[in-house]
Amino acid sequence: MNNFFKVVGFELNNYFKSKAYILTTVLITAFLIVGICLPSMVDLSGIIPQLATEEKAEEDEKAKSEEDKSKYAIYDENNIIDMEYLKSFYPNSEWQTASSNDELEKLVKDGQVEGGFEVESLTKYTYFVKNKGLHDSEQAVFDQALGYMYKQQAISEKGLDFNEIDAIYNMPIESNVNVLGKDSSENYFYAYILVFILYFMIIMYGQLIATSVASEKSSRAMEVLVTSTSTNSLIFGKVIAGTIASVIQVGVMLGGGVITYKITGAAWNGMLDNFLAIPANILLTFSVFGFIGYIFYSFIYAALGALVSKTEDIGKSIGSINFIFMIGFFIAIFGLMNPDNTIVKVASYVPFTSCMTIVTRVALGSISIVEMVISAIILIVSTLLIGVFASKIYRMGTLRYGNPIKLTHAIKSLRKKED
């Protein structure tokens, strides 16, 4: 145990003295702080409208209304259209009245108006447009306007009150939503962010651990370490140290961003408040399963790093585990849309995928405490077994040089030794 703590301390010391580690932490933290401070230093409401103050938003809306007014023309030979009523269907618009069909066509053809309407009756008209876009909705709106005018006229002719009938047909329905289970509309966002954070942490730091093992091996320093310290202490110490260093690094980055937002949050108009409102059960699940899952994969990356002699060969060595991890990631993303799917449920018990899929099930699906405990036990036991297995691969791999060793060959060699 004493050797284990010595290895942890030694590895942490290397991390904290590493220029790459320090530079990455400082740069990303500074980037987050500056990015969060920007709205308090520069007016970004033109890029992000939600950041505008009420006064600024009103001014911008007024200016935009004047600038973006749509222009239309109408030829109503029989004067049957109520223009004020028609304009209510086309807010922020200007209308020109054409005196003939030819004038209407000319206005449209010359681009003076976006569209023209020649009205023959309340049930028949012709729509003129220079170039009809894929999402042109002007005709549908005009159909609706004429439909209302026709109904109003027809109902009035029969001596009935159109407003009373219209109120009956368009009576607003009051409804309240009482969520008895999970509110997916809110939790989806939290689960999505947390799964991505875990994905990038494992991919990025796992590769760093594998590279660290390979680089130590190429310096021949590992021969001394392996012969003087148990491989269990080495592999567990290296992985735990890497986990602590990565958690501290990410914690500093996120902590810097959160503290800055707490100070300058008023400039954001509460836009990022959801980031700080993650439910406790989701955050706890992510912390426990994410931490154990991270260690699980770190053992694998460390063992695979020991199978190569050159850091250039790391990509080939860890390619298979990256592929498996990506499958787990995609299952978790799929689970965001269908958290109670059978595949997602099964994946929440598989050690390679449970660290991510369990987060989606807790956030969006239905999962009992018993299921979570079973999944956690499976993941913990698997992590310990992988750790012991990785230490054996680690010992064998670090004392071999030359061409990369395939994992299958390494497993066969271990079996022969045990026999």
Q: Which residue has the higher pLDDT, 29 or 174?
A: 29
CA atoms of 103 and 88, how far apart (whole Å):
25
CA atoms of 148 and 144, how far apart (whole Å):
6
Confidence at residue 190, expressed as pLDDT on a 0 to 100 scale: 86
β partners of residue 97: 74
Confidence at residue 61, expressed as pLDDT on a 0 to 100 scale: 53
Residue 250: closest CA among 25, 99, 1 = 25
Confidence at residue 30, expressed as pLDDT on a 0 to 100 scale: 93
**Helix, strand or coil for residue 26?**
helix
Question: Which of 20-24, 45-49, 314-318 tops mean pLDDT?
Answer: 20-24
- The owner of tokens 């290296």 is 238
Mean of pLDDT values over 205-216:
82
Mean of pLDDT values over 252-264:
87
- The owner of tokens 């030829």 is 75
pLDDT of 171 higher than 70 = yes
pLDDT of 65 higher than 60 = no
pLDDT of 48 higher than 70 = no
Q: Which residue has the higher pLDDT, 215 or 241?
A: 241
Please report the DSSP string for 292-347 in residue order. Answer: HHHHHHHHHHHHHHTT-SSGGGHHHHHHHHHHHHHHHHHHHHHHHH-TT-HHHHHH
Which CATH number among 3.40.190.10, 3.90.380.10, 3.40.640.10, 1.10.10.10 corresponds to the domain 70-165? 3.40.190.10
CA atoms of 253 and 267, how far apart (whole Å):
21
Least confident of 42-51, 74-83, 244-253, 364-373: 42-51
Confidence at residue 417, expressed as pLDDT on a 0 to 100 scale: 65
Mean of pLDDT values over 85-96:
88
Q: Which amino acid is at 26?
A: V
Strands 124-128 and 115-121: antiparallel
Cβ atoms within 10 Å, residue 302: 27
Q: Which two tokens stand for residue 16?
A: 């904290």
Mean of pLDDT values over 172-181:
77
Confidence at residue 296, expressed as pLDDT on a 0 to 100 scale: 94
Percent of the chain with pLDDT over 70: 84
Q: Outline which parts of the chain fall under CATH 3.40.190.10.
A: 70-165
pLDDT of 51 higher than 60 = no
Confidence at residue 252, expressed as pLDDT on a 0 to 100 scale: 92
Q: What is the pLDDT of residues 260-313, one digit of tens each?
A: 888 877 777 767 777 777 888 889 999 999 999 999 999 999 888 888 877 777
CA atoms of 264 and 254, how far apart (whole Å):
15
Q: What is the pLDDT of residues 99-144, one digit of tens each?
A: 999 999 999 999 899 899 999 998 999 999 988 877 778 889 999 9
pLDDT of 26 higher than 90 = yes
Mean of pLDDT values over 219-245:
75
**Whole-structure pTM over 0.75, yes or no?**
no
Mean of pLDDT values over 321-337:
91
Query: How confident is residue 45, by pLDDT bands cut at 50, 70 and 90?
Result: low
The per-residue b/e assignment along 320-359, b for 16 or more CB within 10 angstroms, e otherwise, is ebbeebeebbebbbbbbeebebeebbebbbbbbbbbbbbb
Q: Which residue has the higher pLDDT, 10 or 267?
A: 10
Q: What is the pLDDT of residues 338-354, one digit of tens each?
A: 888 899 999 999 999 99
Confidence at residue 376, expressed as pLDDT on a 0 to 100 scale: 95
Cβ atoms 196, 365 nearer than 8 A:
no
Q: Indicate the DSSP class of residue 130.
A: S
pLDDT of 55 higher than 60 = no
